[in-house]
Chain A
Amino acid sequence: MFAYDIFEAEDKSVFMPGPMTSGHHQIGLACTACHTDTLTSDEDIQKACVDCHGEDRKKPFDSHPVNKFTDPRNAAKLEKIDATKCVTCHTEHQPDMTAKNGVTQPGDFCIHCHEDIGEDRPSHKEMEFNTCNSSGCHNYHNNRSIYTDFLLKHRDEPANLAKNKLPKREFAALLDEVVDYPRQQYPIKQLTAADADAPADIELSEAGHDDWLQTAHARSGVNCTACHMVDSSEGEQKIWSNNPDHTVCEQCHGTEVERFKKGKHGMRLKVGLPAMTTEEARLPMKADNKHEQLNCISCHGAHKFDVKQAAVSACLDCHDDKHSLAYEDSPHAGLWEKELKGDAPAGTGVSCSSCHMPRISFDVSEWSSRIMVDHNQNATLSPNEKMIRPTCQHCHGLEFTIDSLADPLLVDNNFNGKPSVHIQSTDLAVSDLKRAEQERLGKQ
């Protein structure tokens, strides 16, 4: 009966066993997102974790995917630490024992499987196991930008690379390959004011109409009804809506919306809760925008869909933390201004979204990929080394980048200056390489 009440009660907060991590607090009241059944088993919880996080828990994005441990030969290791279950290291509702990234294991957990690392890597002999993760050298999951051979490959790079441009987005170029695109109903062609197909009884905003004419939408045949005619709750016939939601956008921008719903901006929509508001955020937000809801048009604006507005102003309208407030005086912002003024080539400016919503080559289907803006800004946020490959390395050398991201003061002042800390990982990789070469020479 008790369990039944949890699922049926309108206000479920009374059943919350303890505050949730920052990763999940937004969806805390969607109990069934994780507790999928009244008597949720360990397997059910694991399945719920994988349903949302599974795509990142594979090689090469994860150095310790579950399938690394399922072989029976690992039985003895799993008795020490069950690496096949997410909750072994990420227990929810336990704020007193929860560290960064929702980790609830003591920081020296690597010792369970790597206790003899000193024999393999003499440079690591005197190191404490609680420094593996905290040193900036290793992550349990994502090591794509800090693995040894990658460090060696990119050693000796200058702080600023000669190439310093973001890749171009490919949505328009690859539109022909978007199978679900409604090209029959809305053929790809330039539309004019006379083509606007809003029903006669709809009162149109002149500004909205003019804005639309300036957009890629009007240039590509996306007419009024493509966005404003939505499914009716009462019948099969579509009806006009003045305020269409994200479900309209995903008709053509499905991958972008899917990624949006995986990040902090859209995760509530994914589990059927009302859109997030800035008032409910745990990060500092501007008070005058506290009722701002997070959906596609919050950042893109209706009709205008100005990606430049979405790239900086939309962020700074809400975010009120040190890093955000320092942006406008940063060298990155200077480059962005130059690009906006036309004084620098497209792709050389650095907006908020250049780093936090990077342009990545994304598998939009099983068989094709395209360069798109990753609307899951949390995918690369923490640990911040995840940002190196999709973002920083377009312009900066690896060692400089690793040091910069590890410097909290530099993060706070939005990278206005040079790093004051140095991460040893490249030095150690080089010294291990030299040692191996010396040993080889000695054997010859």
Chain B
Amino acid sequence: MKKSTKSAIGIGAVMGMGIVATAMASDIDKPSISPKTMADALHLVMDSDRAIYTKKIVNRLVKKEKVIKASEHFEDNKALVLPAQMFRFGAELVAKRAEKLDDVNFTYSLQSLWPINKQNSPVTEVEKKGLKFVAENKGKNFYATETLGGKKYFTGVYADTAVAPVCASCHNEHKDTPKTDFKIGDVMGGVVIRIPLGS
């Protein structure tokens, strides 16, 4: 008798787990996250990874331990990839991997009102407004929708801040920079995250 009770409990537990699993499966595809929340979450990951690479790899090895340089021409100069390049390479890989995944087909880029490479200046009206907004309103993000190439997008713009001395010094010293007085903590540009909206 004792034995059969154990079996009954065991079966019940298994059935219960089955019910939980079924309920979760039906929730998985339920639209419960707004484009803004998704962009905020994506930015949190990007910004954290970027800060870690800048502080723990570039700033540590270049400024503190002085064992290697970071260079825009990292292959030619056998140097570390610049934080902005690291970010951009990630964005390019994401774009390539996401292009066949309609549900997650987002893009992101690093732009600035004071870009070293002029191709990274804001292009769309939303980018121009957003970069100006995050530069003038420290700690605030900018959100909008825009239509590009006939498709509608949610666009989030987030301040890109000099998190380490090396951010400000490298930009200030670059021969092509239009601004030479960045300080740690300054907004140097912005991360633009774009999520396609259904038609």
Interface, chain A (partner B; CB < 8 A): 60, 67-68, 70-79, 113, 116, 120, 147, 149-150, 153, 432-433, 436-437, 440, 443
Closest to A152 in B: B175
Shortest Cβ distance from A59 into chain B, in angstroms? 9
Interchain CA distance A147-B72 in the complex, whole Å? 12
Contact pick for B149, options A78, A113, A120, A150, CB 8 Å: A78
Interchain CA distance A74-B124 in the complex, whole Å? 9
Collect the chain A residues with CB atoms within 8 Å of residue B72's CB.
149
Do residues B75 and A73 form an inter-chain contact, with CB atoms below 8 A? no
Do residues A73 and B194 form an inter-chain contact, with CB atoms below 8 A? yes
Shortest Cβ distance from B35 into chain A, in angstroms? 14
Do residues B73 and A73 form an inter-chain contact, with CB atoms below 8 A? no
Collect the chain A residues with CB atoms within 8 Å of residue B96's CB.
67, 70
Interchain CA distance A120-B153 in the complex, whole Å? 31
Q: How many residues of B contact A (CB 8 A)?
A: 26
Collect the chain B residues with CB atoms within 8 Å of residue A68's CB.
92
Do residues B180 and A150 form an inter-chain contact, with CB atoms below 8 A? no
Closest to A72 in B: B148
Interchain CA distance A432-B148 in the complex, whole Å? 36
Contact pick for A443, options B99, B124, B180, B196, CB 8 Å: B180
Contact pick for B153, options A72, A116, A149, A436, CB 8 Å: A72
Which B73-125 residues sit within 8 Å CB-CB of chain A?
73, 75-76, 91-92, 95-96, 99, 107, 109, 118-119, 123-124
Asked whether B160 is an interface residue with its Cβ less than 8 Å from the other chain, the reply is no
Q: A71-B109, A72-B151, A73-B148 are in contact. Are A120 and B118 (CB under 8 A)?
A: yes
Interface of B is mostly: mixed
Shortest Cβ distance from A153 into chain B, in angstroms? 8
Collect the chain A residues with CB atoms within 8 Å of residue B49's CB.
none
Closest to B93 in A: A67
21 A-B pairs (CB sep. < 8 Å): A60-B76, A67-B92, A67-B96, A70-B95, A70-B99, A70-B107, A71-B95, A71-B194, A72-B151, A72-B153, A72-B194, A72-B196, A73-B107, A73-B127, A73-B192, A78-B149, A113-B119, A150-B73, A153-B76, A436-B176, A440-B180
Collect the chain B residues with CB atoms within 8 Å of residue A443's CB.
180
Collect the chain A residues with CB atoms within 8 Å of residue B119's CB.
113
Collect the chain B residues with CB atoms within 8 Å of residue A75's CB.
148-149
Closest to B192 in A: A73
Q: List 5 additional A-B contacts (Cβ < 8 Å) besides A67-B96, A71-B107, A72-B196.
A: A60-B75, A67-B95, A72-B107, A72-B149, A78-B149
Contact pick for A76, options B73, B75, B123, B175, CB 8 Å: B123
Interchain CA distance A153-B118 in the complex, whole Å? 22
Collect the chain B residues with CB atoms within 8 Å of residue A70's CB.
95-96, 99, 107
Collect the chain A residues with CB atoms within 8 Å of residue B92's CB.
67-68
Shortest Cβ distance from B99 into chain A, in angstroms? 7
Shortest Cβ distance from A261 into chain B, in angstroms? 26
Collect the chain B residues with CB atoms within 8 Å of residue A437's CB.
175
Ranked 10 nearest A-B pairs via Cβ = A75-B149, A75-B148, A436-B175, A72-B148, A67-B92, A71-B107, A73-B123, A120-B118, A70-B95, A73-B124
Collect the chain B residues with CB atoms within 8 Å of residue A432's CB.
175
Closest to A70 in B: B95
Interchain CA distance A74-B151 in the complex, whole Å? 13
